[in-house]
Structure 1
Amino acid sequence: MYLAEHQKLGALRAIKQIPRKKADATPVLSEALLLKNLKHPGIPIVFDLEEDEKNIYVIEEYIAGESLEAFALHQSKISEKKIIQIGIQLCDILIYLHGQKPSPLLYLDMKPEHIFLCAGQVRLVDFGIAAYLDGKRSAYPSYGTKEFSAPEQWTSDQPGVWTDIFGAGRILSFLSEYASLPISRGLGRIIQRATQTDMKKRYVTAEAMKQELVLLEQQKIFKRKLRTEEHLLKKIAVCGSGIRSGTTHFSIALNSFFNEEGLRSFYREANDSGALWKIRRMRRRIVEKDGFLYSGHFCGATGLTDERHIESAFDFEIADYGCQVEDTAQIAYADVIILLLGARDWEKEEAWSAIERYRYCEGLVLVCNYGDEKTAREYAKRAGRRVYCFPLDADAFCVDAAKISFFRTLLQKERW
Structure 2
Amino acid sequence: MLERYQLIKKLGSGGTSTVFLAEHRLLHSLRVIKCRSKSKIVNQNSLKESIILSQLHHSRIPVMYDWEEDDQNTYLIMEYCDGQSLKSLIRTRESISEERILQFSLQICEVIQYLHNRENPILYLDLKPDNILVCEHGITLIDYGSARYKDEDKNKEAIAGTIGYAAPEQYSGGILDERTDIYGIGMVMYFMMTGCLFENNCSHIENVDLKGRCSSGVKNIINRCTRENPRLRYQSMKQVILALSKMQKRRTKNNMCKKTTSLTIAVAGVQTRVGVTHVALTFNKYLNQFLGKSLYIERNSSKHCINIINSKGDFILENEVYVSKELRILPCAIGEDNGSESNYETVILDYGVLNDENREEFARAELRLLVVPSKPWEISEISNSIQSILQSFDKPVAVMLNLTSSREYEYVLASKSFEQVYRIPYTPDLLFPSYDKSIWELIYAVLTDLTATSFSKGEKDGWWKKFKSFGAFTKTK
Does TM, normalized by the shorter one, top 0.5? yes
Q: CA deviation at 1:108?
A: 1.3
1:209 corresponding residue in structure 2: 240
Alignment of 1:280-319 (within 5 A): 296-297=332-333, 300-304=351-355, 308-311=359-362
**Aligned counterpart for 1:88 among listed residues 84, 106, 114:** 106
Query: In structure 2, the residue corresponding to 1:153 is in which secondary structure?
Result: helix
Kept after mapping to 2: 8 A contact 1:64/1:118: yes
Q: What is the letter of the counterpart of residue 68 of structure 1? A: L
Kept after mapping to 1: 8 A contact 2:267/2:280: no
Give the whole-Å Cα distance in 2 for the aligned partners of 1:188 and 1:171: 13
* Residues 230/40 of structure 1: CA separation in 2 closer, same or farther (3 Å cut): farther
Kept after mapping to 2: 8 A contact 1:4/1:13: yes
1:41 corresponding residue in structure 2: 59
Alignment of 1:117-128 (within 5 A): 117-128=134-145
1:177 corresponding residue in structure 2: 194
Residues 332-378 of structure 1 deviation map (CA, whole Å, 9 limit, x = unaligned): 9xxxxxx998866xx57xx45655776777579xxxxxxxxxxxxxx
Q: CA deviation at 1:175?
A: 0.7
Whether 2:130 is the aligned partner of 1:97: answer: no
Q: CA deviation at 1:279?
A: 4.4
Query: In structure 2, the residue corresponding to 1:222 is in which secondary structure?
Result: helix
Alignment of 1:233-382 (within 5 A): 234-235=265-266, 250=281, 266=299, 279=304, 296-297=332-333, 300-304=351-355, 308-311=359-362, 324=404, 330=421, 347=434, 351=436, 362=447
1:193 corresponding residue in structure 2: 224
Q: Which segment is superposed worse, 155-164 or 78-87?
A: 155-164
Query: In structure 2, the residue corresponding to 1:127 is in which secondary structure?
Result: coil
* Residues 297/76 of structure 1: CA separation in 2 closer, same or farther (3 Å cut): farther
2:252 corresponding residue in structure 1: 221
Kept after mapping to 1: 8 A contact 2:300/2:333: no
Whether 2:90 is the aligned partner of 1:72: answer: yes
Kept after mapping to 1: 8 A contact 2:298/2:331: no
**Aligned counterpart for 1:152 among listed residues 169, 192, 196:** 169
Kept after mapping to 2: 8 A contact 1:98/1:106: yes
Query: In structure 1, the residue corresponding to 2:68 is in which secondary structure?
Result: strand
Query: In structure 2, the residue corresponding to 1:13 is in which secondary structure?
Result: strand
Aligned length: 327
Whether 2:160 is the aligned partner of 1:143: answer: yes
Kept after mapping to 2: 8 A contact 1:67/1:114: yes
Give the whole-Å Cα distance in 1 for the aligned partners of 2:474 and 2:282: 22
Q: CA deviation at 1:71?
A: 0.8
Q: What is the letter of the counterpart of residue 361 of structure 2? A: I
Q: Which segment is superposed worse, 305-314 or 210-219?
A: 305-314
Q: Structure 1: give runs of 5+ residues left out of the alignment.
A: 238-245, 255-261, 269-275, 284-293, 333-338, 365-380, 389-416
Whether 2:146 is the aligned partner of 1:129: answer: yes
Query: In structure 2, the residue corresponding to 1:41 is in which secondary structure?
Result: coil
Give the whole-Å Cα distance in 2 for the aligned partners of 1:342 and 1:5: 38
Give the alignment's TM-score, normalised by structure 1: 0.63
Give the whole-Å Cα distance in 1 for the aligned partners of 2:283 and 2:175: 49
Q: CA deviation at 1:39?
A: 1.7
* Residues 363/172 of structure 1: CA separation in 2 closer, same or farther (3 Å cut): farther
Query: In structure 1, the residue corresponding to 2:299 is in which secondary structure?
Result: strand
* Residues 324/218 of structure 1: CA separation in 2 closer, same or farther (3 Å cut): farther
* Residues 72/27 of structure 1: CA separation in 2 closer, same or farther (3 Å cut): same
* Residues 20/170 of structure 1: CA separation in 2 closer, same or farther (3 Å cut): closer
Give the whole-Å Cα distance in 1 for the aligned partners of 2:76 and 2:242: 36
1:28 corresponding residue in structure 2: 46
* Residues 10/317 of structure 1: CA separation in 2 closer, same or farther (3 Å cut): farther
Give the whole-Å Cα distance in 2 for the aligned partners of 1:218 and 1:58: 40
Q: CA deviation at 1:325?
A: 8.9
Kept after mapping to 2: 8 A contact 1:20/1:56: yes
Give the whole-Å Cα distance in 1 for the aligned partners of 2:439 and 2:140: 47
Q: What is the letter of the counterpart of residue 163 of structure 2? A: K
* Residues 173/318 of structure 1: CA separation in 2 closer, same or farther (3 Å cut): farther
Q: Structure 2: give runs of 5+ residues left out of the alignment.
A: 1-18, 196-209, 269-276, 286-294, 309-329, 335-349, 372-400, 410-419, 450-469
Q: CA deviation at 1:107?
A: 1.3
Residues 285-331 of structure 1 deviation map (CA, whole Å, 9 limit, x = unaligned): xxxxxxxxx9743764135556742336768868897765969x745
Give the whole-Å Cα distance in 1 for the aligned partners of 2:22 and 2:162: 31
Give the whole-Å Cα distance in 2 for the aligned partners of 1:101 and 1:220: 35
Q: CA deviation at 1:234?
A: 3.0
